[in-house]
Structure 1
Amino acid sequence: MTSTAPAGTTAHISDLDQARRRILRVLVASQVLSGAGLAAGVTVGALLAQDMLGTTTLAGLPSALFTAGSALAAVAVGRISQARGRRPGLATGYLTGAIGSAGVIVAAALDNPLLLFIALFVYGAGTATNLQARYAGADLAAPGHRARAVSTVLVATTLGGVAGPNLAAPAGTFAERLGIPGLAGPFILSGTAYALASLVLALWLRPDPLLLARAVAARAEEAAAANPAATPEGTGERRGGVVLGALVMVLTQLVMAAIMTMTPVHMHDHGHGTAASGLVIAVHIGAMYLPSPLTGRLVDRYGRMKIAAASGITLLAAGILAAAAPDDSVALLALALALLGLGWNLGLVSGTAIITDTVPLATRARTQGLVDVSIAVAGATGGITSGIMVAATSYPALALTGGVLSLALLPAVAATAYRR
């Protein structure tokens, strides 16, 4: 499907740099808000399910549900963006995440596990939208600067992502004053943050980055037709690049989701409170996003393949450290989760750059949405199997397995590099 740029879009082409700066500012503002919404729910989702169900076995189900919900949302956001632009797609996704947050609060107040699971599924739309926003940052970027554009959007999530988990305890206290279970408190923060992110995008993401990029590309094609000697950027889709980019992001998401989901439960089972687990998750979220500017520069300078390989090695180190950390050591668990977040960041930025380089504008948003479905399914798989594996074995076994699994990236990257 192709979309015609709306009236008025081409007026902005003459001042493309100004449009880029404005778009990035709005995306940064929305990501700060959505980061708080994402991180707050991640911090207590597993604990809330464990409290309501009375068992650790299904503690990974919340992560599985909202990542499964993000799979459906990724398709929807991708299709809306393909047809109408990034602004309506992203705004709708965040609004849906806010509705899911409200559902979690109601479910906790009613002590209704079924409603909780449905609401967590809907809440996953916020996760999908948070990830898809990175593509919007790259829509107008030059090929040699795409990873840096992606990283600018990702790093904006850091502020909200670090603040969200640390506000879990105060939000819980606030919820209890309202007569709501304390563990549902962070979802009050999530719902508010997602709703505000939706509002920011709906009002101020103008011009739309994807529609403007299409208008710029149309102008370039017209110029190329008038001057056949000029060679425009290739628009053919290279399947190998799509597969590799998807694999890098899928595998890093699987390993990250599995270990991250069970870390708060592991800490809770060994006597650590919500504040301690919130601190560890805050460090993890910070490591997921804070290194993004450096990662973007490394990807653009040294190439997508080398940084993708580095992500696998970093995740292996994270798994080994998490497995070896003493149960009473918050510091070592925080370091392990920091490495886990860094490995995920390296994989996401390099994988996103590979996908954006590979897919033409005519099908870009739809393909990106489908790739993010795979990422969401991987996260859901990691989340739901993590609780089962810990119940059957142990948290160290889960962490070590995830670290070893991440090494599968190395032969895939090597094979693709060899074919080129």
Structure 2
Amino acid sequence: MTADPVPQDVTPASLQRSTLRVLVISNVVGGVAVASGFAVAGLLAENISGSTSMAGLVATSTTLGAAVLAVPLAGLARTHGRRVSLATGYLIATLGAALSIVAAQIDSLVLLLLAGCLFGSGSAANLQSRYAATDAADPKYVARSLSVVVWATTIGVVVGPNLTGLGGSVGTSVGVLALAGPYLFSVIAFALSLATVWFGLRRLQLSTPRTKVERQPLITTLRRVMAIPHARLGLLSIATAHSVMVGVMSMTSVHLRHHGASLTVVGFVISGHVAGMYALSPVMGWLADRLGRIPTIGIGLAVLAAAMTVAAVAPDEAHGLTALSLVLLGLGWSACLVAGSTLLSNAVPTDIRTSAQGLSDLTMGAFASIAGTAAGPVLAGLGFHWLAVLCGLLLIPVAVTAALTKQQVRSA
């Protein structure tokens, strides 16, 4: 497979700008697709099963799907280029969104869970886009390039949930269950993301892999990553920050509702959290390029620790303090994701780079699934404050690893 030739007068800078433009558009539209379906997934599962306890299963299946599919999509990027990999991810997600509608029509929870796994491919593709942004980036601006694509997700996650009402109306008008209506937007948006990367990357270097490399088993990639101090720190910081974020965020709405918060307040708190996650990611990219990856990870860990402290000491009815902790949680996550992803990509050799990136997303999703699953019993048995304390303790190994890695760099 070969790409169309890049015109001779195209400079590396203009090529990178074109690449970022395509990835930003696909990520914005893909973000709308993910958020539209995710907003009603729990309600749809509850409606089909008749059990509130089943409401979280679709979210879990989607998270697991994103984690598991990250590895084969990274393999496609290695052998056939980002264009084929991202397009395949969005194609699978389009199928997942369509099957979600079918599951709603035939009242099948099993099919809905399977569809959720496929739907997660959209999240996997969006996540891989951040790495695609670094492939042709100027070494001085790698983190900023990555962070711009992360920032683009802000638009999608804000717009997507607000399409729920319209999606229900559109769904009803075409004979689809109202709760499944938003998935119609997901189908359309994923298809648009597919078209964007397929045609937009056709004449760019991301169309094909730069070099042919042999496929390596995942365990081999893991061993090689863990043997490189910077790569190990990058992987650990991403997975831990994501676990802490998911563990606390997933239980925040339940905690707030149990202590008298209205749905409006819950929505405000979650919106602030999402804004913290994505809106300032370019700032995190600038910090990572200017101060360095490890110092920025340190900043992220400090902000996450502050978030857990506020959440742990805030009175149950102090919803303003809970909102503050969630904003800080989003900011700390953003710093660790941007700096950790850049550190990992730069640290590993080119022959395992895409495999290491897939491993990163797999680890990120797997750890988050464990954290999200464990958070419920912890909240029920110990309460929200202890959940924050336990999540805060998870930061200690990363902080120690960061300090040791920094010391090794100084000693070298």
Q: Please, what TM-score do these two structures have when normalized by structure 2?
A: 0.85
1:161 aligns with 2:157: yes
Amino acid at match of 1:389: V
State how 1:308-387 maps to structure 2 within 5 Å.
Answer: 308-323=297-312, 331-387=320-376
1:338-372 CA distance string (max 9 Å, x none): 22221111111011111111123333222211221
Structure 1 residues 177 and 56: CA distance shift in structure 2, 3 A = same
Structure 1 residues 209 and 308: CA distance shift in structure 2, 3 A = farther
State how 1:244-259 maps to structure 2 within 5 Å.
Answer: 244-259=233-248
Aligned to 1:68: 64
Whole-angstrom distance in 2 between the partners of 1:293 and 1:177 = 41
Whole-angstrom distance in 1 between the partners of 2:318 and 2:396 = 26
Aligned to 1:148: 144
Q: Select 1:394's aligned residue among 378, 383, 388.
A: 383
Whole-angstrom distance in 2 between the partners of 1:73 and 1:291 = 28
Aligned to 2:183: 187
Aligned to 1:125: 121
CA shift, 1:94, in A, is: 1.4
CA shift, 1:175, in A, is: 4.0
1:86 aligns with 2:82: yes
1:105 aligns with 2:112: no
1:36 aligns with 2:63: no
CA shift, 1:78, in A, is: 0.4
Identity of aligned residues (%): 37
CA shift, 1:88, in A, is: 0.9
Whole-angstrom distance in 2 between the partners of 1:153 and 1:166 = 22
Equivalent pair of 1:257/1:379 in contact (CA under 8 Å): yes
Structure 1 residues 43 and 330: CA distance shift in structure 2, 3 A = farther
SS state of the match for residue 361, structure 2?
helix
User: Relative to structure 2, which stretch is displaced further, 280-289 or 148-157?
Assistant: 280-289
Whole-angstrom distance in 2 between the partners of 1:182 and 1:398 = 35
Equivalent pair of 1:65/1:117 in contact (CA under 8 Å): yes
Whole-angstrom distance in 2 between the partners of 1:393 and 1:123 = 33
CA shift, 1:41, in A, is: 3.6
User: Relative to structure 2, which stretch is displaced further, 170-179 or 303-312?
Assistant: 170-179
User: What value does the CA root-mean-square deviation take over the aligned residues?
Assistant: 2.9
Equivalent pair of 1:43/1:281 in contact (CA under 8 Å): no
Equivalent pair of 2:77/2:354 in contact (CA under 8 Å): yes
Structure 1 residues 190 and 398: CA distance shift in structure 2, 3 A = farther
Equivalent pair of 2:6/2:203 in contact (CA under 8 Å): no
CA shift, 1:11, in A, is: 4.9
SS state of the match for residue 203, structure 2?
coil
Whole-angstrom distance in 2 between the partners of 1:85 and 1:42 = 29
Equivalent pair of 1:61/1:383 in contact (CA under 8 Å): no
SS state of the match for residue 334, structure 2?
helix
Aligned to 2:273: 284
Structure 1 residues 123 and 280: CA distance shift in structure 2, 3 A = farther
Equivalent pair of 2:71/2:359 in contact (CA under 8 Å): yes
- Higher relative contact order structure (alpha carbons within 8 Å, sequence separation ≥ 6): 1
CA shift, 1:128, in A, is: 1.0
Unaligned ranges ≥5, structure 2 = 212-223
Aligned to 2:18: 22
Structure 1 residues 139 and 89: CA distance shift in structure 2, 3 A = same
Q: Select 1:406's aligned residue among 392, 395, 401.
A: 395
Equivalent pair of 1:316/1:403 in contact (CA under 8 Å): yes
Q: How many residues align?
A: 396
Unaligned ranges ≥5, structure 1 = 216-235
Whole-angstrom distance in 2 between the partners of 1:353 and 1:360 = 13
Whole-angstrom distance in 2 between the partners of 1:408 and 1:107 = 42
CA shift, 1:311, in A, is: 1.7
Whole-angstrom distance in 1 between the partners of 2:338 and 2:192 = 26
1:118-158 CA distance string (max 9 Å, x none): 11111111111111100111111122211011011111111
Structure 1 residues 8 and 47: CA distance shift in structure 2, 3 A = closer
